[in-house]
Structure 1
Amino acid sequence: MSKKYKIIVIVLVLSLFPAGCMVGPKYKKPEQLKSDSYKNERNLDSLASVTNLKWFDLFNDDVLKGLIQKGLENNYDLKIAVSRIEQFRAELGYSKADLFPSFQYGATINSNKKYITPSTAGASMSWELDFWGKFRHENNAVKNELLATEEARKVILSDIVANIAIAYFQMRNFDDQLEITKHTLETREKYYQIISERFEKGYISEVDKVQIEQQVAIAEAAIPNIERQITFQENAIALLTGQLPTEIPRGKSNTELQIVSKIPLSIPSALLENRPDVKAAELRYAAANERIGVAQAMRFPSINLAAIAGFASADLSNLFLGSSYMQNASGGIAGPIFAFGKNKRRVEINRQQAEQFKFLYQQKYIDAVSEVEQSIQNVRTYQEEWKARNRQVQAALINYKLSHERYDSGYVSYLEVLDVETNLFNAQLSLAQLSERQLSSMVELYKALGGGWNL
């Protein structure tokens, strides 16, 4: 076998041999606290209702769906996240290139024959063999970071959908409050006219007139405050949808809206590992774990191969003659001897960074379980509270009608009427608020369970 072919065989053997020489720890999934179900479980439903349900199937309001779609198209946080994914894809390709040889070309032209540097034209190859897995560990780390970034995009996606929906519900709540307040003001102004006429005729005392005048002013003062809240919510929705401040279109009221999903209120907590923020945290830990291997590989010698082929001649006119052709192949090894513990400390630094990412992952998992626990409890209690408050409103409406009849018949003072009317007004406002909280809590539960927030 010629010397040239021997060199080729040696290069091929050395290029294949590193596959079994990776140093560094193998990834092991961290242990988590597990429970079969949640503390506040109700009905054990299929997980498929969460994983298969997309956000556009969650709402029965086309206006709200349109706002969410606009937010997904225009939101700047989502655009930044998509750009960050493309950046990591480029970094992954950049990292993969280190696994392969690098080829270069070059040429030097010298017209002076007496000059010590001859004219040259050729190509060269250099290759640091990944004998200890340094480049493969780094490549795996970047790959996990890319996957974590894709999961982070899903987190932003779910935030956009949930935040727009909740802001919309809050805006419609203030719309309801404004309508309730305006209706209350109209009723009070009507009775103010009646009571003023009775006072002028001497049928009632000035106390009744002052009391109703005070209630009119209270209702008038509440309207500008609610209008400010509506403008605030409209601006928030405009920002979430990537628009300049504008009037937001209205669809159904909160009492007409409903969450049309069958969201399970009890699933095994282990399934929360599919939540994008939990998965992203684990992937970041996996990436940090790979970089321990990078640091460990840097403690071992690096093996380099090089080859060159081309032409060299002191006489430029003879550069490409056969006698000017030259080729060479070489190998080298270099490694640390003594660096006062620097290389060892590098490994320990990366080990502790990985440990921190592991703790962050475990903490994120517990946070996710806690969020679902709270969301389940919120859904249940808001539903119960809404039912009770709705009964209060119905009873208050009957009491309001009866108290006015008693007042018109002269059986009670207007102070009793005002007390009944105030209770009705407050109960109606509370019911409007609970309608919003019911809807919002269902969205928050869907988000906490890691439901289908896909485009």
Structure 2
Amino acid sequence: MIRKTVYKYISIGGICLGFAACSVPAVVSKTENSNTPAAYNSQQDSTNSAQVKWKEYFTDPYLNALIDTALQHNQELNITWQEIEITRNEIQARKGEYLPFVGLRAGAGVDKKARYTNLGALEKNIEIDKDKEMPEPLPDYLVSAYATWELDIWHKLRNAKKAAVTRYLSTVEGRNFIVTNLVAEIANSYYELLALDNQLDIVQQNIAIQTNALEIVKLQKEATRVTELAVRRFEAEVMKTSSMQYDIQQQITETENRINFLLGRFPQPIARSKQGLDNVAPAAVNAGLPSQLLANRPDVKQAELDLAAARLDIKVAKAQFYPSLGISANFGWQAFNPSYLVKTPESILYSLTGDLVAPLVNRAGIKATYINANAKQVQAAYNYERTILNAYVEVANQLAKIGNLEKSYNLKSKQVAALTESINISNDLFKSARADYMEVLLTQRDALESKFELVETKKQQMNAMVNIYQALGGGWK
């Protein structure tokens, strides 16, 4: 009769555990789309500039020295290194969860039972040795080893460890992405600095031209060929151009300090090339194939790893619905007198327990965790697709920009040459009274603006060269 009752409760328990394991809520997952167009344009060439190391892509030794310093001392990059260490330690923590946990225990205490209770009355009547009663109060000394182990029958713990490994790899790719951005930001700031140097030279040259023209106007006034108005207009133009150099010098200071900040150091002069931006030619760029973005872009690889980790999180959350099997063991010595601890086997204690546990009633929290894990996987899939799309758009935009800037630069170069020549023509015409002073002023002003625009276009060309390298995934190797 007793045996039948035991079997009955075991059967009921098994049915309950089976019911708990089988009633997993259904969710809708998403499969990511990682397809890319066959090519950026009609040409299909697998040669990719992203494979070139930044020390070879940038040929300016001053720029390379700045980048090298930043990669060692930039604070944001060093903070990211610590984040990588944190995720690496998380791997060890997850790994330890599915290994047996073994510990040592030692303790001492005292216990006094009330006499008129079952335990108190029992202790009063127990004799340890002849003519020796149970001591009162009762001391207790314990030395033992214990172990607990959850058998990972559903790979819940192993999947959690794999998710930690994947997130560690994701942080590494995140660090690589920061490196690409850092290299690009320093390069763009460096070329901006060269452009400001060029603009400052242009302003100073224009001041000399305008000052010379002012002297001519003064001579013309003495000869009564122009009025005082012409002299004042030329003086105002010289003052206006002279004030521009201080605005440019302020921009140079701010740009140098921005570079110093990226290098992790206090403000100081930035060593740079003296040949000017005019003599710098953009490097040739090979875009390769769009499918290469999946392997070259760190942010794309990071999004892919985050998606893989999210899928593992679903498996971990799903395993919470299934029964878990735990084993615990204990072995040691226990006695009310320290001298009795060495008396074996009387003082020896041991235990071995197995637990099979599954959620049955309060499963709302587990269900919410499982549904949230699935929702995060869907988010990660969309984020992966968006990252690929963004990478392709960035490359396509920069390729178009490179072509358009090249055409624009060629036309602006011709414009500058024409306006530079027109300055001499207008001066000659003014000396012979065949042109008034306003024509001279406007010609000089147009020439200055066109030279500024030409420098700005060259800077944009260099920035496009940097940005396409970054968009292709170069700079972190």
Normalised by the length of structure 1, the TM-score is: 0.88
5+ long unaligned stretches in structure 2: 1-20, 112-134
From 387, 404, 407, the equivalent of 1:384 is 407
From 210, 215, 220, the equivalent of 1:193 is 215
Contact 1:61 1:257 in 2 (8 A): no
| Structure 1 residues 334-413: aligned runs within 5 Å | 334-339=357-362, 341-413=364-436
From 175, 178, 185, the equivalent of 1:156 is 178
Contact 2:277 2:459 in 1 (8 A): yes
Counterpart CA distance in 2 for 1:169 and 1:411 is: 43
Counterpart CA distance in 1 for 2:42 and 2:234 is: 48
Identity over aligned pairs, percent: 27
Contact 2:30 2:381 in 1 (8 A): no
Question: For the structure 1 residues 115 and 31, does the alpha-carbon distance in structure 2 shift closer, same or farther, using more than 3 Å as the test?
Answer: farther
SS at match of 1:327: strand
SS at match of 1:109: strand
- Are residue 30 (structure 1) and residue 27 (structure 2) matched? no
**Aligned partner of 1:392: which letter?**
Q
Counterpart CA distance in 1 for 2:211 and 2:312 is: 73
Question: For the structure 1 residues 371 and 96, does the alpha-carbon distance in structure 2 shift closer, same or farther, using more than 3 Å as the test?
Answer: same
The Cα shift of 1:228 comes to 1.7
Counterpart CA distance in 2 for 1:219 and 1:50 is: 43
The Cα shift of 1:337 comes to 0.9
Question: For the structure 1 residues 196 and 70, does the alpha-carbon distance in structure 2 shift closer, same or farther, using more than 3 Å as the test?
Answer: same
Counterpart CA distance in 2 for 1:32 and 1:444 is: 23
The Cα shift of 1:269 comes to 1.8
| Structure 1 residues 85-104: aligned runs within 5 Å | 85-104=84-103
Q: Which moved more, 1:405-414 or 1:364-373?
A: 405-414
The Cα shift of 1:28 comes to 8.8
Counterpart CA distance in 2 for 1:393 and 1:248 is: 29
Q: Larger radius of gyration, structure 1 or 2?
A: 2
Counterpart CA distance in 2 for 1:259 and 1:421 is: 29
Paired residues, what number?
427
The Cα shift of 1:363 comes to 1.1
5+ long unaligned stretches in structure 1: 1-20
SS at match of 1:424: helix
Contact 1:59 1:258 in 2 (8 A): no
Question: For the structure 1 residues 114 and 255, does the alpha-carbon distance in structure 2 shift closer, same or farther, using more than 3 Å as the test?
Answer: farther
Normalised by the length of structure 2, the TM-score is: 0.84
Contact 1:127 1:304 in 2 (8 A): yes
SS at match of 1:100: coil
- Are residue 290 (structure 1) and residue 312 (structure 2) matched? yes
The Cα shift of 1:121 comes to 1.2
User: Who is 1:12 aligned against?
Assistant: none
User: Who is 2:144 aligned against?
Assistant: 122
From 293, 307, 313, the equivalent of 1:272 is 293
SS at match of 1:125: strand
Counterpart CA distance in 2 for 1:257 and 1:183 is: 20
Counterpart CA distance in 2 for 1:387 and 1:321 is: 100
The Cα shift of 1:43 comes to 5.2
From 191, 198, 202, the equivalent of 1:180 is 202
RMSD: 2.3
SS at match of 2:146: strand
The Cα shift of 1:111 comes to 8.2
- Runs (4+) of structure 1 exceeding 6 A deviation are none
Q: Which moved more, 1:182-191 or 1:113-122?
A: 113-122
Question: For the structure 1 residues 304 and 176, does the alpha-carbon distance in structure 2 shift closer, same or farther, using more than 3 Å as the test?
Answer: same
The Cα shift of 1:329 comes to 2.0
